Structure 1
Amino acid sequence: MRKLPSDQPHCRLTRQIHCLPVQMRGVEQMAGPEIANLDDRIRQVIGVAVDACGLGLVQKVTGLPLGFSNVNFRVETDQGTFLARLCRTQPDDRIRDEAHFLESIRASGFPASYPIARTDGTPITFHDDQRVMIYEFIEGEEPAVTPDSARQVGEAIGLLSTLEVPAGYSSSSLSDIDEAKQFLITKAKQLKKYPELFSQLQQETAEIESFLQIKLPRGFVHADAFPDNTIFRDGKLVALIDFEDSCEDALLFDVGMTILGFGYQDEHPESEQIRALLEGYQSRRPLSDLELDMLPTMVRRCAHGLTLWHLQRFIEDPTARQQHRISELQHRIQRLHAKDAEVIRSVTGR
């Protein structure tokens, strides 16, 4: 991240965030990608899940790089290669909704890693206090963030926005404004130690609550289309993965979140990437004038929701990785009130 003069608002907020670990001992140091730990207990849990899906005998299990929530493993059996996900964050109903939606769009050919049901037709294996989902394993790699990858992912989320939400699906946004307000109340004691940060979060929450009164087209959104949730092979998008945050929300939410993932380079918005992303999206679903007008604020809403998500987990289990992510997001929110919003408007012409 580029250094800023110390009298700028972001730096004052960043210093407060960097102070958080001083009050909470045992914070891990920043390092390279951490790999999921495989022990005998987890190996047994995965074996039970694979057997429940009728996928043959396990031959090899390999831990994959850790994200911010779930734990994933590559599983090779005598019938093929699969992905085992230990579900550590979302409640059972939300996991079932994810499987329900993906099953409903399987015939569409949408590029995704689809879950593999157990032989009894249910998606989740419960064993030894663990919850396991088994998915198709898609070979490929995380893409470089370029105009081409942004265009392809933009087209994918545009296509996703046109798919029907199945009956019985009920998951709502994780960026719920009432939950955000409740978090600021219940964690006020901890947050008041950092008054400028706390004040900024309160003000931002009030502004986002006002923005949410605007009626925008709604439907299914992935809600987390960042590079590490996409798989490319030979320069082509082959799968959008990790639908656990998916929900019904304003369709523009997916555009805003994907701009955070594919519209920035070195913490600054890149107009060429944002333009390519929007072109890809609008090849599937044109945005209305109102949506284009609201786009900078929607990007800010997404950054605000991510900040609160990471901050909540940081308070529960402080790590240097969470600390760094919160700092990045606070920087981005500050800029989305000014320069970053101007870049987005220059692309949309609004």
Structure 2
Amino acid sequence: MRQNYDKIFLQSISDQYDNLGKIDRFFLYTSGYENSNYYIRTREGQYVIKIFEGIEIKTENILFELEAMDFSHKSGIKTPSVLKNSQGELATEVDGKYVCVMAFVDGDNMHKQPLSDSLAIEVAAETAKMDQVLKHFKDGSKTRQNYEWDLKCALILEKFVPLLPKDYDREIFKNVFAEYRKIKQKFLKMPAGLIHNDIVPHNWLVKEGKLKCIIDFSDMVFSPYIQNIAVALHLVAFAYNWNPGQAKLFIQKYSEINPLSGSELKLLYTLIKARMMSFIVEFNRWNVEYEVDQQRVETVNDNYKFLKKFIDFGQNRFDQLVGV
């Protein structure tokens, strides 16, 4: 979980890198939940320190994440540049925790912000290009296995439904799980590879309406490409920026680079509902089993509203929208 650190600890990280210098300004980014991300400024420049805090994340997961991010950046994808430490490595271990340092990218986080059609189209194109680039990686064993944020594993969350607030309609969740069960085997047979799995507005950095960077590879998994689309569309078109028309634009642009079949698109409505359900159930579990975080409480309540609204929108309207 995200933690607070002082300047002394952050400087001990900076000291592992050649010529970064002394930190004169720093602050914690609060848009994420799992890891701790700090902006730092030194006389040499501006950087971001990422401290890996995942509860069940393994060393091999962290190293593979940084390898994939580095490869994407070097392949021309708009992703962060990861610095190598004094030992020539992308990951650094400090006080028993793995960290990395990235070049700072000047841009605004788009969480809960209005999203233009042109930005949605630009992100769709970058998503498709990233999916192409990440085909370089063939071995899925280095990503997190049985991971709650991987839609292949959505059913592991079913046992946590009883933890939901008492005023939540359990029948909604029962139906979402039942619908997911019906499509799961078809879903698992769809074209798959290494995907970012979290290309959502809070992981975009935008400047003057243009995409500058897609950040945070911590949720990447080997899964069907249509999962990457479902994860993105949840928060692009059917959440704070409720704009169903952008789902159509996103899919059209993505398909120009990576064509999607009718069979894939037919699964999309149920997969988006499953993603919304995952947000609600898993973040609520964190609040119950660890500590209550007001930001997570709001996320759970907001996504419960979005899920009900998306169900009311209906599969027929959605399928017509995306051209199924």
TM-score (norm 2): 0.84
1:226 paired residue number: 200
Q: Confirm or deny that 1:284 pairs with 2:257.
A: yes
CA deviation string 1:276-308 (max 9, x = no partner): 212221221111111121111121122122223
Higher alpha-carbon deviation: 338-347 or 286-295: 338-347
2:18 paired residue number: 54
The answer (yes or no) to whether the contact 2:21–2:43 under 8 Å persists in 1 is yes
Among 152, 174, 177, the alignment partner of 2:122 is 152
1:122 paired residue number: 89
Q: Aligned equivalents of 2:148 and 2:87: distance in 1? A: 30
Q: Aligned equivalents of 2:304 and 2:229: distance in 1? A: 20
Q: 1:55 to 1:207 in 2, by over 3 A?
A: farther
| Greater relative contact order (CA < 8 Å, ≥ 6 in sequence) | 1
1:82 paired residue number: 47
Deviation at 1:201, TM superposition (A): 3.4
1:253 paired residue number: 227
Q: Aligned equivalents of 2:126 and 2:61: distance in 1? A: 22
Q: Aligned equivalents of 1:324 and 1:299: distance in 2? A: 19
Q: Aligned equivalents of 2:172 and 2:246: distance in 1? A: 29
2:64 paired residue number: 97
Q: Aligned equivalents of 2:165 and 2:80: distance in 1? A: 43
Question: Secondary structure at the residue paired with 1:93?
Answer: helix
Question: Secondary structure at the residue paired with 2:228?
Answer: helix
Q: Aligned equivalents of 1:122 and 1:158: distance in 2? A: 29
2:181 paired residue number: 209
Question: Secondary structure at the residue paired with 1:118?
Answer: coil
Higher alpha-carbon deviation: 91-100 or 248-257: 91-100
Q: Aligned equivalents of 2:245 and 2:151: distance in 1? A: 32
Deviation at 1:135, TM superposition (A): 0.9
Deviation at 1:131, TM superposition (A): 3.1
1:138 paired residue number: 105
Deviation at 1:183, TM superposition (A): 4.8
Among 114, 125, 137, the alignment partner of 1:166 is 137
Deviation at 1:181, TM superposition (A): 4.5
Q: Aligned equivalents of 2:152 and 2:12: distance in 1? A: 39
Q: Confirm or deny that 1:312 pairs with 2:297.
A: no
Task: Structure 2 unaligned segments of length 5 or more: list them.
Answer: none
Q: How many residues were matched structurally? A: 310
Q: Aligned equivalents of 1:337 and 1:110: distance in 2? A: 35
Amino acid at match of 1:312: R
2:80 paired residue number: 113
Q: Aligned equivalents of 2:131 and 2:304: distance in 1? A: 28
Question: Secondary structure at the residue paired with 1:205?
Answer: helix
Task: Structure 1 unaligned segments of length 5 or more: list them.
Answer: 1-34
Amino acid at match of 1:80: G
Q: 1:134 to 1:58 in 2, by over 3 A?
A: same
Deviation at 1:340, TM superposition (A): 4.8
Deviation at 1:334, TM superposition (A): 2.9
2:38 paired residue number: 73
Q: Aligned equivalents of 1:339 and 1:160: distance in 2? A: 30
Deviation at 1:251, TM superposition (A): 0.4
1:243 paired residue number: 217
Q: 1:47 to 1:273 in 2, by over 3 A?
A: same
Amino acid at match of 1:68: Y
2:248 paired residue number: 275
- Spell out the pairing of 1:332-347 with structure 2 (5 A cutoff): 332-347=306-321
1:303 paired residue number: 276
CA deviation string 1:231-265 (max 9, x = no partner): 11222111101111111111011111111121136
Residue identity over aligned pairs, in percent, reads: 16
Q: Aligned equivalents of 1:311 and 1:139: distance in 2? A: 33
Deviation at 1:167, TM superposition (A): 4.8
Deviation at 1:166, TM superposition (A): 2.0
Question: Secondary structure at the residue paired with 1:297?
Answer: helix
The answer (yes or no) to whether the contact 2:28–2:37 under 8 Å persists in 1 is yes
Q: What is the RMSD computed on CA atoms of the aligned residues?
A: 2.7
Amino acid at match of 1:51: D
